[in-house]
Structures are given as C-alpha cells and as structure tokens.
Amino acid sequence: MARRGHVFAVVAFVCYALLAAASTTVEAFAASGWSKGTATFYGGSDASGTMAGVAFRRVPCRRRGGVRFTVAGRDYFELVLVTNVAAAGSVRSMEVRGSRRGAGWMAMSRNWGANWQSLAYLDGQGLSFRVTATDGQTIVFAGVVPPSWRFGQTFASTQQFM
C-alpha cells in the first residue's frame, strides 16, 4: 500500500511540474511580443484576419523582348504558358487560331496561373494568338508558332504590350 501512495505522489509531482513549466512557457511567449506581432500582421490585436489601412498602386510592368508562348499538352489539347507580358503584367483573355484554311478564332480557357488551354486538335498547324491584357489592350500575335512546332517548345514574338 505504501508503494501505491509513493507512485501516486511521484505522478502528481511530475504532472504539477509539467503544468508549471507549461504556464511559464505561455507567459514567456506572451511577454516576448511575438504573439502581438503576429496578431498585428494578421489584422490587429484581435487577430480578426483583416488588414486595414493598406494602400497600393498598380505600376506598369516593363519587359525586354516580346511576349513568349510555351506550348505543352497532348495531341487533343494545347496548354499555352504566356510569359514576359509587359504593361498590366497579366492576361485577361486569350484566343487561338490554327493556320488551316477557314480556321476561326477559338476562345481559350484559363487552366491555372498564366496557362491557357484549348481543347482543339491543332497539331501540324501554325498558331496565332489574340491576347487581351487585364488593362484591356489586345494584340494579335499572327503566326508566332510555326507549323513545325512540338510540345515543350517556347516561341518569342517581336510584339509587346505598351
């Protein structure tokens, strides 16, 4: 019976020591100012997640060289990454047209990020793109991709958004 009491006393002491250490750690954490800094970053002392008083201004993006198009995908779809876009810096809409006779402009959909996709069979055709930047400026990149293109290649145009 004495052993049980001794074990209970040791367990109780260890639990008390752990709780005391935890409360000291919490107090040290709160006193360090880190928790307040984090709360302020995420929206003030209440940590509500809102950031008030942030001001920003869009500035035009300047780039050297023309807009670049990287063609990826498979035979049944084209995934086109658009890079080096100046001015607004991002693309609002994009259309593609193959070089075969009678081919019209086909809208592309945004896949993710700056990747645009077309679910058309355009293998063996030269490709032209009509790109509209987020500031509304539209440029036609006629014949920027030659008919001999292969998936994974990048093609640079001589045109750029201003």
State the average pLDDT for the chain: 76
For the whole model, what pTM was predicted? Answer: 0.62
Average pLDDT over residues 97-118: 91
pLDDT score of 25: 47
Q: How far is CA 37 from CA 25, 55, 69, 92, in A?
A: 18, 20, 43, 37
* pLDDT tens digits, 23-38: 444 455 455 555 555 5
pLDDT score of 138: 92
Measured in whole angstroms, the distance separating CA 28 from the mean position of its chain's CA atoms is: 37
pLDDT score of 103: 81
Average pLDDT over residues 111-118: 91
State the Cα–Cα distance between residues 76 and 61, nearest whole angstrom: 34
